[in-house]
Structure 1
Amino acid sequence: MTKVRMGIIGVGAQGSAYANFLTEEKVENMQLGAICDIDPAKKQWASEKYPDVPFYDNYIEMIESGEVDAIVTCVPHYLHPEMGIEALKRNVHALVEKPAGVYTKQVRELNEFAATKPELAFGIMFNQRTNPLYQKLKEIIDNGEIGEIRRTNWMITTWWRPQGYYDQSAWRATWEGEGGGVLVNQAPHQLDLLQWICGMPKKVYSNVKYGYQRNIAVEDEVTVLLDYGNGATGVFVTCTHDVVGTDRFEILGDKGKIVVDDSNKITVKRLIKPEREMSDTMSMVDVMKIFMGGNSDEIYNEEVITFESVWGAQHTAVMKNFASHILNGEPLLAPGSDGIHGVALANAIHLSSWLGKEVELPVDEELYLNELKKKIEEEQKQPLTK
C-alpha cells in the first residue's frame, strides 16, 4: 500500500473540505476511498462531483466495504466515539474530528477500546498541533526558557457567529444534538493547546452564560479561572458574540514571559536573572530606574517571531502524518487518546457553572453525565424556537 484510502463520514462543510483536499492531491500519501452521508441530497452532490468515488448512506456498510483503509468522522460530536470504535472493531484505522466526544465517559470508552488495537492508527484532528507557531511555543516552554509557569491568560473571542449560523441546523447549539456551545464547537483547539503546552489544571471555577447574546440553549460566553495546583493560575475567556474579536495568549514564567498575538506572532522576553533573584538583590532605586525608562537590556532579552498560516495546510498536515503513521510508523502528532483532555476541561467548566462551585479534575464522570441529562430533559420540555 502506497496510499491510504480514506472514507469520509459526513460531508458537511468539514467533510467536503477534506474530500476536496484529497481529490486535489494535497495529501500525497492519502486518497479519497469512499463517502458516507445520510442526506439523500449529498448522494446527488457526490455523484456529480466525485462520480468515481463510492457513496454510502450507512457508515457501517462503508467500513465493511473493503473500499477504505481508514475513516474520518465529520459528524455531530456525540457520534465520534461510537464511529471510532466501530471502525477499529473492523480493523479500519480511525481519525476522529475534534472534540473526541461530548463527555469523558464516552471518550474513555473509545480510548480503552483503541488500546486493545495497538496495530491500528487512532488519531484526532488537532490540526493546530501542526501549526509552527504552537510547536515553537511548546518547544520554548518544554526547554524551560521562561522557567516555571506562574500564570496563563488566553482570551480567544474571534469566534463570532451570527444567529443565522445557529438557525441553519436543528441540532446545532443544543444539549441533545451538539452537547454544548463554544466550548465543544469553536474552542476545543485552544483547550487542547492550553493543556498540551502548559499542562492540565487541577481545578477550575467558571462563569458561563447560556444564550447570553444568541437565541440558543448552550454557552456563548465563558470565563474560567484555572488552578494548576502548584500556585500557578490561569484565566481562559471565549465567546461567539465579539464581532471584533481578540486572540491573545500570555504565559508568565519565573524566568520570562511569552505573548502570542493573533496566532501569528510570538514575543518572548527572557529575563537576564530569574525574577526571584532580581527581587532578592535589587533595591528600590534599581526598580525606579526600570519604571522611569531605564535600559531594558539589563532586565531581559526580547525576541519576536512571526508566522504565516494558510487555512487547510494544518488539516492536510494531520492527514499526511496520520497516513505516514499507517504506512511507515511515523509517530502521531495528535494521538487519538489525547482527545480526552480537552473534553475533560470542557466538562469541568460546564460542571463548575452548573453547580456554582470550584470543580476538581478529573471530573466525576457520572455526576457530569447526570447533569448533562438534566439539561437535555429541560431542553426537550421547553425547546427554543430558532
Structure 2
Amino acid sequence: MTKVKTGIIGVGFIGEEHLKALRAHESVEVIGIADQSTDLAAARSRQYGVPFYTDPIALMEEARPDYVTICTPHFSHTSFAIEAMRRGIHVLVEKPLTVSASAADECLRVMRETGMKLGVGYLQRLRTAHRKVYDLVQSGFVGRIQRVTMVRTAWFRSMAYHRSNPWRGTWKGEGGGILVNQAPHDLDLLVWTAGLPSEVLVEMGTLGHDIEVEDDVCAVLKWANGATGTLHVSTNEAPGRSFYEIAGTKGTLRLEDGCVTATALAVDSHEFSETTQERMVPPPTGGEMLFRQPPEPVEFSTLPGMHANFAAALREGAPLVCSAEEALQEVELANAMLLSGVTRQWVQVPVDRAEYDRVLEELMATRSLEAYKAKRAGR
C-alpha cells in the first residue's frame, strides 16, 4: 500500500513528537519538514532522515505532500492552514485550531471553498477512557445532563518551561495562557461529551508565574437545557488533579486518572421524583461499572492513531477524529471564558467576534493580564 505523504511545519518540541510517531508508520510517510530555525531544521533532518526547508511555502510547493501537519505557535496556524488549502493540500493542525473564533471562521470558509480536509489534533479523543465517556453519553446512559464538573490542575509548568521559548507566556506570542495552551484538551473533552455551554462566568488570573497571560481559570458554565457546571484549570498546582464528572437523570459518569466509573439509576430521577411517596429517599441505583484505561507507554502514544485516522480520511472518507467544525466549538468556549475573565460578566456563546478581537489586541498592547484587569476596573 502506498503511504500517504505529509510535511511537518514546525519541528520544535511537539513537531518532533510527530516525527517520532511517524518514523515507522504503516500508512503515513514524512517527505519533508520546515522550520524558521535553519539549525533546528537541519538537525531534525539529519536525525530523522528527511529533507528540510526553512520556508513552509517551499515545502508545500516543492515536496507536494498530501497533507501538512502544522506544529507552530498558535497565531501562525491560520495562515499556514490557509496557504496549504489554497494549494490543494489537506491540513492536520495541532490544537488549538486557531487563537480566535474569527480566525477559525476564516479557516472553515477556505476549507469549504477549496474542498480540502482540515482536522485538529485533539489526540486525547483517542484515549480509551475518554472514548468510553463519549460513547456512554451518546448511548443515553446518563439521560438528560444536569451537572458537569471538571478539575484539571495536573498541568504544572515551571518558569523554565516559559523561558524555553520567547513566545511562551505572552499575549503576542501565544494569544493566551492555559486557555490556549494546555486546557484546549480539557475544553474539547467537555464540549465533545457534554455539548457546548451557552453562557460562562469566569474568574481568572496570573497566580504563580512571572508571565503576561493567565495560569489559573475557574468557570461557572450554563447549558441551554438548564444544566450547570464548573471548571477549574491551572498550571500552578502540585500535586494536581484530573477529575471529570457528568451527572444526569439516569446516571453518573466519573473520569479520574484514566478510570471511568459509570453508576446507573434503576429509574429516571425525574420520573422517580414525580411518582414516589418518599420525601427524602433518592432513587435506587441500578449497578456500577468500572472501565480502566490500559496503561499508555508515553504521553503522546495516540499520535500514530491520529495520523492513521487522517490518512484513512483522505483514502476512504473516514470521519476525522476531530473536524474543524468541532474544533471551532472549543475555540468558542475558550474565547468566551477569556472575555468573561476580563469583563467579570456572564458571556454568551457563540462569542462576539469583534469584542473578543478588540480585547485581545488590548491585552497584547498592555502585556499583562493583571494590569489589564486593573485598568478595566478603574474605567
TM-score bucket (shorter structure): over 0.9
Amino acid at match of 2:317: G
* 8 Å CA contact retained: 2:68, 2:84: yes
Taking structure 1 as the reference length, the TM-score comes to: 0.91
**Correspondence 1:153 to 2:121:** no
* 8 Å CA contact retained: 1:11, 1:37: yes
Aligned to 1:339: 327
Q: How far has the Cα of 1:13 moved from its partner?
A: 0.9
Q: How far has the Cα of 1:331 moved from its partner?
A: 1.9
What whole-Å deviation, never above 9, does each CA across 1:340-376 have from its counterpart, x for those lacking one? 1111111000101111100001111011000110011
In structure 2, which of residues 293, 311, 321 is the aligned counterpart of residue 307 of structure 1?
293
Instruction: Give percent identity, aligned residues only.
Output: 33
Amino acid at match of 1:54: P
Aligned to 1:328: 316
Q: How far has the Cα of 1:283 moved from its partner?
A: 4.7
In structure 2, which of residues 159, 165, 171 is the aligned counterpart of residue 163 of structure 1?
159
- 2:285, 2:121 → 1: CA distance? 41
Q: How far has the Cα of 1:286 moved from its partner?
A: 7.4
Amino acid at match of 2:125: R
- 1:254, 1:352 → 2: CA distance? 30
Taking structure 2 as the reference length, the TM-score comes to: 0.93
Map 1:192-231 onto structure 2 (within 5 A). Answer: 192-209=188-205, 211-231=206-226
- 2:44, 2:265 → 1: CA distance? 57
Q: How far has the Cα of 1:67 moved from its partner?
A: 4.3
**Correspondence 1:378 to 2:379:** no
Aligned to 1:351: 339
- 1:377, 1:105 → 2: CA distance? 19
- The alignment partner of 1:231 has SS state of coil
Q: How far has the Cα of 1:279 moved from its partner?
A: 2.5
Q: How far has the Cα of 1:278 moved from its partner?
A: 2.8
Q: How far has the Cα of 1:285 moved from its partner?
A: 8.0
* 8 Å CA contact retained: 2:11, 2:41: no
Gaps of 5+ in 2: 372-379
Aligned to 1:234: 229
Q: How far has the Cα of 1:281 moved from its partner?
A: 4.0
Q: How far has the Cα of 1:157 moved from its partner?
A: 0.4
- Cα–Cα, structure 1 residues 302 and 60, in superposed 2: closer, same or farther, change >3 Å? same
Aligned to 1:83: 80
- The alignment partner of 1:313 has SS state of coil
- 2:74, 2:285 → 1: CA distance? 48
* 8 Å CA contact retained: 2:217, 2:233: yes
Amino acid at match of 1:186: Q
Aligned to 2:92: 95
- The alignment partner of 2:253 has SS state of strand
* 8 Å CA contact retained: 1:201, 1:361: yes
**Correspondence 1:15 to 2:15:** yes
Amino acid at match of 1:13: F
- 1:203, 1:265 → 2: CA distance? 29
- The alignment partner of 1:155 has SS state of strand
* 8 Å CA contact retained: 1:96, 1:336: no
Map 1:281-300 onto structure 2 (within 5 A). Answer: 281-284=275-278, 287=281, 298-300=284-286
**Correspondence 1:363 to 2:359:** no
Aligned to 1:293: none
- 1:48, 1:316 → 2: CA distance? 22
In structure 1, which of residues 248, 251, 260 is the aligned counterpart of residue 246 of structure 2?
251
* 8 Å CA contact retained: 1:2, 1:327: no
- The alignment partner of 1:65 has SS state of helix
- 2:95, 2:106 → 1: CA distance? 16
Q: How far has the Cα of 1:327 moved from its partner?
A: 1.7
Map 1:69-148 onto structure 2 (within 5 A). Answer: 69-118=66-115, 120-148=116-144
* 8 Å CA contact retained: 1:206, 1:349: yes
Aligned to 1:39: 37
Q: How far has the Cα of 1:94 moved from its partner?
A: 0.6
What whole-Å deviation, never above 9, does each CA across 1:169-220 have from its counterpart, x for those lacking one? 11101110000111100010111111111111110000011x2111111111
- The alignment partner of 1:78 has SS state of helix
Aligned to 1:269: 263
- The alignment partner of 2:181 has SS state of coil
* 8 Å CA contact retained: 1:204, 1:352: yes
Amino acid at match of 1:38: Q
Amino acid at match of 1:278: F
Count of aligned residue pairs for this structure pair = 368
For the aligned residue pairs, the C-alpha RMSD in angstroms reads: 1.8
Gaps of 5+ in 1: 291-295
Amino acid at match of 2:58: E
